[in-house]
Structure formats: structure tokens, C-alpha cells
């Protein structure tokens, strides 16, 4: 039996088994014991000393921990997988999961001075020089310094790893030349022959022409699921059904680095 202690500073981390049993690790100190009686028992005990056991069918069950899929066949495999994620061992080693979380907030100045021109029915790259007064790089993940090329406004994934992911909040203002225009947003990802696009949102601008409309600032999800995405860039692009102009206020990006 191997026993570890850990703390997590995230809101919660979820350990689930595909037969429906689950256990949520929250902001407390737990001990986790992987019991190798018959390679089928995962035992978790909280500081309240309430024990939680889960029977695991190592031939069919998949255990998912912080979006990492475990496909081992023994309790030792499970132990090895868990150890690398968020555990502090009895010897004091291990890693702190909170160090891999953070955010980048990049504000633009160039388009506020000179708005970019949008041609009708044409996808247009949205630049971001990262030089705005409200750019905030004080809370980036450990080991990272940048996530954007200020010369283009493209997301730069070179400091990330496979399995990393992010939530993105865009913030721009578009002014159409005619009423009832449709504005669409997307991110173009990948590189070479593997370029692909993910739509973010679309919005009808029906309050009149010459009026600035704010983008819908919903959260958009991107993950580094393959080398094509990881080795490429992320291009924010906007299209109007009519001519117009765009001012980019900036983009905030929450990161989980694997």
C-alpha cells in the first residue's frame, strides 16, 4: 500500500470512474491509498476520516483525473499516474498544481488609434500589439512569459505542452457601414496543411449603421490535443456582411498548462 498526502489550491479536482462512481477533491487535505489487494480498490480518506472506496475493473474502467485519461491495468500504474499529477509524497517531493494555472490579459493600442478596415464578407485578422495600459502579465503560469506575438496578435503556443488548454474572452467593437449586418468571429488554428477554424459566435447588428457594437464576450475553449495545434498559432478573425471598422480592446486568456 502506498500513501500520499496532497493539497490542491484549485476550486476542485475530480476523480471519476466511467461506471458512475466519483469522488471530488476540494480544498482540504486528504490521504489517498492505492490498495493492491487484487488491483481493484482505490481508497480515499478525508481529514474527517470518512473513508471512500471505489471498486475498479482494471479491464474496462477508465479513470479520469484533471482531464488526464488513465489506462493502466494495475494499482501500481494508477499510483504512478496519480503521483505525477498533484501529490506531495512522504519525502516532500511532488508538484503543486496551482503553479500550472494563470492568465494573460493583452490589451491593444493600435486599433484604438487607427481602427482596422473590414471588407464585406471577408475574414480579417484582428491585431493586438499587447501594449495597452491594462495588459496584465502578473499572474501567468510558472515557466511562461508570453502567449501572444505582439507584431501580429496571433496566439503563440510555443511555451505550452500537449494536454494544455485555455478559455478565451475576446473584446472588440465593430462599426458596420449598413444596418442589419451580421458579424462573425472565429479562431484559425494549426499549421501547414492542417489549418482549421473554430467558430466563436455570430451577432446581428440591427440597431443602425455607423454605430459601434461590442462583441459578445463569452468564454471560448481551445486545447492542445495534437502537435498540429501546438506547433501552429491562433488567429482571431472577424467577418462582416458589409464594410465597416473594428477596434480591438483586447483578449483575456485563462491557462492550464499541462
CA distances to 3, 206, 243 from 87, in Å: 10, 54, 55
Q: What's residue 31's pLDDT?
A: 41
Q: What's residue 100's pLDDT?
A: 79
Query: Could you give phi then psi for residue 99, rounded to 5 degrees?
Result: -65, -20
Give the separation between CA 77 and CA 82, rounded to whole angstroms. 9
Q: What is the CA radius of gyration of the chain?
A: 23
Q: What's residue 73's pLDDT?
A: 52
Give the separation between CA 117 and CA 166, rounded to whole angstroms. 29
Q: What is the dihedral of CA 145, 153, 230, 61, to 10 degrees?
A: 90
Q: How many Å is the maximal CA-CA distance in the chain?
A: 72
Please, what are the domains in the chain? Answer: 2-95 (no CATH), 99-256 (2.60.120.40)
Q: What is the dihedral of CA 94, 156, 188, 152, to 10 degrees?
A: 160
Give the separation between CA 139 and CA 105, rounded to whole angstroms. 9
**What is the mean pLDDT, run by run of 10 residues, along the chain of 258 residues?**
35 38 37 42 44 44 45 54 42 44 95 96 98 94 91 96 94 96 97 94 94 88 95 97 97 92
Q: What's residue 11's pLDDT?
A: 35
Give the separation between CA 242 and CA 184, rounded to whole angstroms. 12
Through-space distance between the first and last CA atoms of the chain, rounded to whole angstroms: 28
Amino acid at each position: 500500500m502506498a500513501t500520499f498526502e496532497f493539497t490542491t489550491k484549485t476550486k476542485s479536482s475530480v476523480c471519476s470512474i466511467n461506471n458512475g462512481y466519483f469522488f471530488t477533491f476540494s480544498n482540504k487535505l486528504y490521504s489517498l491509498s492505492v490498495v493492491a489487494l487484487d488491483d481493484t480498490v482505490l481508497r480515499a480518506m478525508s481529514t474527517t476520516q470518512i473513508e471512500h472506496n471505489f471498486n475498479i475493473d482494471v479491464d474496462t474502467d477508465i479513470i479520469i483525473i484533471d482531464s488526464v485519461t488513465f489506462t493502466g491495468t494495475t494499482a501500481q500504474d494508477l499510483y504512478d499516474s496519480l503521483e505525477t499529477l498533484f501529490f506531495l509524497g512522504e519525502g516532500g517531493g511532488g508538484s503543486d498544481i496551482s503553479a500550472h494555472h494563470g492568465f494573460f490579459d493583452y490589451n491593444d493600442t493600435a486599433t484604438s488609434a487607427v481602427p482596422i478596415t473590414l471588407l464585406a464578407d471577408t475574414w480579417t485578422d484582428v491585431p493586438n500589439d499587447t501594449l495597452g495600459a491594462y495588459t496584465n502579465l502578473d499572474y501567468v503560469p510558472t515557466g511562461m512569459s508570453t502567449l501572444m506575438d505582439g507584431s501580429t496578435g496571433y496566439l503563440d503556443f510555443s511555451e505550452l505542452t500537449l494536454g494544455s488548454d485555455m478559455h478565451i474572452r475576446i473584446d472588440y467593437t465593430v462599426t458596420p457601414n449598413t444596418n442589419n449586418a451580421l458579424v462573425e468571429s472565429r479562431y484559425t488554428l494549426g499549421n501547414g496543411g492542417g489549418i482549421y477554424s473554430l467558430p466563436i459566435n455570430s451577432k446581428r447588428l440591427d440597431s443602425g449603421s455607423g454605430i459601434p457594437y461590442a462583441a459578445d464576450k463569452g468564454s471560448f475553449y481551445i486545447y492542445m490535443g495534437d502537435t498540429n495545434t501546438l506547433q501552429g498559432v491562433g488567429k482571431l478573425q472577424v467577418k462582416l456582411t458589409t464594410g465597416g471598422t473594428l477596434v480591438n480592446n483586447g483578449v483575456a486568456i485563462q491557462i492550464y498548462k499541462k
